Amino acid sequence: MARIEDHGVLEWVESGGGPLIAVPEVVLPFWAGADSEELDTDYDRACEVAGYAGLLPVGDSAALVLGDEPAATSYLPEHGTFVRWSAAESERELLAGVPAALEGAVWEQELRWDVPGPVVLFDSAWPGGEADRQEHLKVPLAAGSYTVRTAYAQPGPETWVGLVQLRPLGR
């Protein structure tokens, strides 16, 4: 995989080894990350999510945990999809394969995620209140309900990508 500094078009978020999490902006202060007095931290809860994605309660909302592997991740609004860079020689190669990956994906999981508005993607080990001081990506989602579906695809011989697609319900 190319180094993140070599990326050109998109902002990418990486973790220190654990899962990434998309937390609704309005409940960011309620995500404690690995900093907690509790025996099981929020970060521990995120690490327990099985599969490519899962939901965890945060405040009066829910956060989307991007599980499986700590791949560099960005969001493509034109596809409503978090793209997880597993293998590709360049960002250009990865992005060129996204349409084929979406078309040929075998969707493995579906969740319903209710969001109150924009979310922030960051390393789940960090407290939400510090997300703006760490590597993060603000995703301008409209308030509403979304179907979240996941897949892992190989759109080219040397290109592998994880997909977490958000589809608005009732629109």
Domain locations in the chain as residue ranges: 4-168
Q: Residue 87 corresponds to which tokens in the numbers above?
A: 């293998």
Q: Residue 138 corresponds to which tokens in the numbers above?
A: 């603000």
Question: Do residues 19 and 47 lie in contact, with contact meaning Cβ atoms separated by under 8 Å?
Answer: yes
Query: CA angle at residue 102 from 97 to 76, to 5 degrees?
Result: 75
Q: CA 131 to CA 152: how far, in whole Å?
A: 27
**Each residue's pLDDT tens digit in the chain (171 positions)?**
333 444 568 999 999 888 999 999 999 999 999 987 777 899 999 999 988 999 999 999 999 999 888 899 999 999 999 999 999 989 999 999 999 999 999 998 799 999 999 999 999 999 998 888 889 999 999 999 999 999 999 998 999 999 999 999 976
Q: Report pTM.
A: 0.91
Q: CA 171 to CA 168: how far, in whole Å?
A: 6
Please report the sign of the dihedral spanned by the C-alpha atoms of residue 156, residue 160, residue 149, residue 91.
negative
